[in-house]
Structure 1
Amino acid sequence: MAKKYGRCANYGECTLADSHDTIESTEENFICTECGKALRVVANAEDDENKFKKIFQKIGKWLLPLALILFGIIAWIGFGSNGDTPPPPSIKTTTTSSEVKATEDNIILRIHGSNTIGAKLAPALVEAFLKEKGYTQIEKVPLRELEVLVRGKKEGSRTFDAVEIKAHGSSTAFDETDENKKVGLIGGYADVGMSSSPIKEEAIQKFEAQRLGNPTSRTQEHVIALDGLAIIVNPNNPIEKLSVEDAKKIFLGEITDWSQIGGKAGQIKLYSRDKQSGTYDTFKHLVLAGQKLECDANNPNLKCFEDSKELSSNVASDLNGIGFIGLNYIGTTKALKISMGSRVNAIPPTKFSIKTEDYPLGRRLFLYQTNQPSPLGAEFIQFALGDDGQKVVNDSGLVEVSAMIEATVEAIYGIETDKKRILSDLAIPNAYKDLVRDADRKDTQLNFRFTSGTSDLDNRAFRDIGRLAEKLSKSEFKGSKLILIGFADAKGDDAQNLQLSIQRANKVKEELMAEGIEVDTVTGFGEERSWLLDPREDNNDSLGKNRRVEVWLKR
């Protein structure tokens, strides 16, 4: 296919655009390799290297049969007169239908990593992506366990193009493991990495060592969805809520019977995701304070699963069972309300509490790429972040990050319930209640969050500015009054935290005004103790939940 040359015009957002670099691409995927935006044509040229490759490929087709003939002649000369050497036995190779299909397909994109994303969301996103690109006869072809191809045909094509999805856990988004080889971005086995937890420092260092860029940058790390890490029990279990501390004690074996926390007597049975999954890593970090669960013969009361659906099914059939799972896999189990302490309200894992990231065990779902992304991989990520991709996220049972999708009945119920709780809570300052009494969050279901000790927007917040501005620019919001309320964590000086919370709210105001959106009220409450989402001061994730700016709308 002839090469095509262009330049990116996404100035201020893309380093390739700012440096006016000429980018080599193809007619089919004529987009910027960094930001995924369409390129401006500057030249066309034939890739001589590809011509030589084609010549060598043709020569290669003849070399193998010639080598086999030569080997046969040598074997006949060496052994033909020896009647004692019997002919080799014939070997019959059995190939499964899925393996045949895999070898016949043209793999155009490889997506590896999280089972939470890869089991359901990724195949659905790929199917919608291929449809948008004009593919037909789209189907899902299972390969080995937790591996699948989503393939389709372009008009006039005799062969399938396929997208490879390997969902062996978040760690495999980045690198190989003892159990899984030929996976991940670092070794060049994947074009897009899926992770249900932020990339770890060890993998970041490997990215840098391989000169693959900074995987935490806005161009390489993308929040495509939100998920709640639900703690689930059998639907007939009378327990309704649980503190994070009690959950920790249960899974570490310090609480072993339901009667110890007010339930019916019965030995607690534990169900966990496997150690390679982002679900396990998030639970270990948020609930177990870094301690590990050991799935071995020495701990017969704990069962571990590589597949989320299988874990959920086992808890649903075990009256004394308890497990942790992504929100999308609650199924027929009961998800408990979770609190971060005795003086903090227990919050259910609803779409609203997860979208605002107020739910204690909420998490972000990421797609990662290197600083040298495949054009199709970059295009796929942009599709996932766009309105069509976010609709797929919503339909899959996860929580979209887009501000454009209308609030569901479930979300509206969660919003109204949360507001009633605020107005009836005697500990919450009247100044805060007066601000929100006549406002709502039906169209502003997000909080802007920041890096520690600064007013710098994090990666999701940076993109959310544009999303919110696009929504509020519609005529239906004309005359509405936007209210921004800042908060800080409980670490450090009270007076400084109050100023920082106001600075953060003003930062959001500046960004929104730059997009043409007027802001009516800006204020901050610092580390207001009655409104801390998490009272702990020694946990970075907990502190991160408190570093926020709420967005309310008065009509």
Structure 2
Amino acid sequence: MTLRVLFLLMVCNWLPLAASAGGLPTPEKGPVLRIQGSNTIGAALGPALVEGLLRQQGLLKVHREVPDAANELRIVGESAQGRRVEVALSAHGSSTGFSALQSGNADLAASSRAIKDRELSDLQFLGDLKSADAEQVIAIDGLAIILHPQNPLNQLDTLQLARIFSGEVKTWEELGGSGGTIHLYARDDQSGTYDTFKDLVLNGHGKTLGSSAKRFESSEQLSDAVSLDPQGIGFIGLPYVRSAKAVAIADGQSQAMLPLNNLIATEDYPLSRRLFFYLPPNGKNPWAKALVAFAQSSQGQAIVAANGFIAQTVQAMTVTPHVLMPEGYQGLSRHAQRLTVNFRFEEGSASLDNKARQDLSRVLDYIKQHDKTDRQVTLVGFGDAKSDPARADLLSKLRAMAVRRELVKNGVVLREVRGFGAEMPVAANSADEGRIKNRRVEVWVY
């Protein structure tokens, strides 16, 4: 049976409608929605978002049922007519979500990393999963590097991390600490958390994970194991630090940063990452579309925050000036506040990426709600280092101008557009991921 036939059969299951819940149809049998993928999302955030959607749809007695299989559950509600409405959720790692889409066993993929080119190609029959409607950033997370609470180390850089987790650095004494042999803790190969760590830390320094690392499918179990091991070090999504100790991280010439909410919201923290729902454009499941819309709503983003992740709700934050900032940036920080969002761009392009397009409407809402439309907004562009500093300055300002055009279309009169070139990097320029993070536009309001 071809993948296209599987897909058509999946769609046809929705044709005989037996009942509806809050306006959404329910099939004759089976779950109304099947979600597979990331354990980071599926452990708590995904179920909470599904519960929120079911209650929004007017369903009663919303609860969770845990089958025998680990990291799987059903979220169940009851319609006013007494009909059972069920959502099935499996959380065995991001890659399993894309495999399930391909086999027709999922309606929605949850992923703690962006879709890979190979997966994108394999799923072409479902439509373009990189399109703005398909690729939905639902939250921001930070990978925390965790130690035993009594470990005296407070700061590491990404090169040190790569050498530690590859097994090149074997003892805490080599890092200026004490405790003997380093014990490594890592997520399993199916995990988007592991993929993110591999991309941001290991691959960037030409390293691979050491064979001595203990591997975990469960985020909670990994964190608890590190917190009980004085020689342990691990990486984990932000909500799962639990009783362990998180350390500050530097990348290249960036300042060392703790995984603090504001630094993760702007994606300045070196190990920040995006959490995704992937909604097949050719999919016909209305519950999948409804869950994506709910996750992006203010109610959904409140659930994101309540579950320990970083919501994409735009807020203003005060930035304390310091001597490492350019003089003009120090002046800006004394008189204005920075919004908790950075605009970033598609790789090799001046076009806003999918998250930036979503953020644009949130920033516009903030500007209008706070009466900042008339010369109360300044855009500040940054870029990656070039051989010609003047070119870096120009490109940083051009990116800011790209955001300006979108704001002007919506009635915003800006106060100023500035470019600071390659100054104040938030990531190393030695890898594509770092250069992309450094190409950013900040929004400041007076």
Q: Which amino acid in 2 is paired with 1:547?
A: R
8 Å contact from structure 2 (residues 159, 201) kept in 1? yes
TM-score (norm 2): 0.90
Q: Which residue of 1 aligns with 2:173?
A: 259
Q: Which residue of 1 aligns with 2:267?
A: 357
Cα distance in 2 between the residues matched to 1:366 and 1:217: 13
Shift in alpha-carbon separation, 1:472–1:272, aligned structure 2, 3 A: same
Structure 2 stretches lacking a partner, 5+ long: 1-14
Please tell me whether residue 436 in structure 1 is matched to residue 333 in structure 2.
Answer: yes
Q: Which secondary structure does the structure 1 equivalent of 2:44 belong to? A: helix
Cα distance per residue 1:453-502 (max 9 Å; x no partner): 43210100011111111122115547671110001112464333322211
Counterpart secondary structure, 2:75:
strand
Give 1:219 shift. 1.3
Q: Displacement, 1:393?
A: 0.2
Query: Mean alpha-carbon deviation: is it higher for 358-367 or for 452-461?
Result: 452-461
Would the aligned equivalents of 1:170 and 1:195 in 2 still touch at CA under 8 Å? yes
Q: Which residue of 2 aligns with 1:384?
A: 295
Gaps of 5+ in 1: 1-23, 33-49, 55-104, 176-183, 408-414
Maintained 8 Å contact 1:114/1:167 = yes
Please tell me whether the aligned partners of residues 23 and 57 of structure 2 are also in contact (alpha carbons under 8 angstroms).
no
Q: Give me the whole-angstrom Cα distance separating, in 2, the residues matched to 1:291 and 1:163.
A: 40
CA RMSD, 1 decimal: 2.3
Cα 1:519–1:476 shift into 2, 3 Å: closer
Query: What is the deviation of 1:431?
Result: 2.0
- Gap change, CA 1:29 and 1:185, over 3 Å in 2: farther
Q: Is residue 280 of structure 2 the alignment partner of residue 370 of structure 1?
A: yes
Taking a change above 3 Å as real, the CA distance of residues 523 and 364 of structure 1, as seen in their structure-2 partners, is same
What CA deviation, in whole Å up to 9, does each residue of 1:8-49 have, x standing for no partner? xxxxxxxxxxxxxxxx997958999xxxxxxxxxxxxxxxxx
Conserved in 1, the CA contact under 8 Å of 2:21 and 2:57? no
Instruction: Name the residue aligned to 2:164.
Output: 250
Identity, in percent, stands at 40
Matches within 5 A, 1:299-448: 299=211, 301-341=212-252, 343-373=253-283, 374-403=285-314, 415-416=317-318, 419-420=319-320, 423-425=321-323, 427-441=324-338, 444-448=339-343
The one of 439, 458, 463 equivalent to 2:358 is: 463
Distance in structure 2 (CA, Å) of the matches to 1:167 and 1:492: 45
Q: Is the CA contact (8 Å cut-off) linking 2:132 and 2:354 kept in structure 1?
A: yes
Q: 2:22·2:59 contact (CA, 8 Å) conserved in 1?
A: no
Which amino acid letter does the alignment assign opposite residue 265 of structure 2? K
- What amino acid maps onto 1:543 in structure 2? R
Partner of 1:171 in structure 2?
95
SS of corresponding position for 1:186: helix
| Contact in 2 for aligned 1:486/1:548 (Cα 8 Å) | yes
- Shift in Å, 1:379: 1.1
* Alpha carbons 1:466, 1:515 under 8 Å: kept: no
Q: 1:200 aligns with which of 95, 111, 116?
A: 116
Q: For residue 433 of structure 1, report the CA deviation from its aligned partner.
A: 1.8
Aligned to 2:208: 292
User: Contact between 1:117 and 1:196, CA under 8 Å: does it hold in 2?
Assistant: yes
> CA contact under 8 A between 2:400 and 2:441: conserved in structure 1?
yes
Q: Which has the higher contact order (CA 8 A, sep 6+)?
A: 2
Q: Is 1:506 matched up with 2:404?
A: no
Matched residue, 2:63: 139
1:25/1:458 CA distance change after superposition, 3 Å = farther
Query: Hey, what's the Cα distance between the residues in 2 that align with 1:459 and 1:489?
Result: 21
TM-score (ref. length: structure 1): 0.73
Could you say which structure has the larger radius of gyration? 1
Paired with 2:412 and 2:50, the residues of 1 have a C-alpha distance of 34
Letter in 2 for 1:304: R
Q: Within the alignment, does 1:219 sit opposite 2:133 as a pair?
A: yes
Alpha-carbon deviations, 1:335-393, whole Å to 9, x = none?
A: 1100013x431011011000000000000000002121211101110110111110100
